[in-house]
Amino acid sequence: MAASSHASVAASWQMRHVPPVPRRVQKADRPAKTCAHCGRPFTWRKKWSRTWDEVRYCSKACRRRTPALARKETG
Ligand SMILES: [Zn+2]
């Protein structure tokens, strides 16, 4: 493959060969916790800005499903 007459073909191949680089936006500046009920990690939300220290569950559903007794013991 030393031909120089197919320069344009080679150029187009190169352009196709370069994959688009996806941009990863990480929300590392936001704190995260693990849900005490389902064990899934969840990140800080604006609605929790005041009660973030008390937040233990990713959603209301998890909070409801956790018995009151268990909630007391987790403190
Ligand atoms: Zn949960």
Q: What tens digit of pLDDT does each residue of 30-62 get?
A: 899 999 999 999 999 999 999 999 999 999 999
Ligand 1 mean position, distance from CA 23 (Å): 29
Residue 34 bridge partners (DSSP)? 41
For residue 9, give the amino acid letter.
V
Whether the pTM exceeds 0.85: the reply is no
Cβ-contact 31, 52 below 8 angstroms? yes
Ligand 1 mean position, distance from CA 25 (Å): 24
CB count in 10 Å sphere of residue 44: 15
Residue 40 falls in which region: left (phi positive, over 0), alpha (psi -120 to 50) or beta: beta
Cβ-contact 58, 42 below 8 angstroms? yes
Domain spans in the chain, listed from the N-terminal domain onward: 29-75
Mean pLDDT throughout 10-20?
66
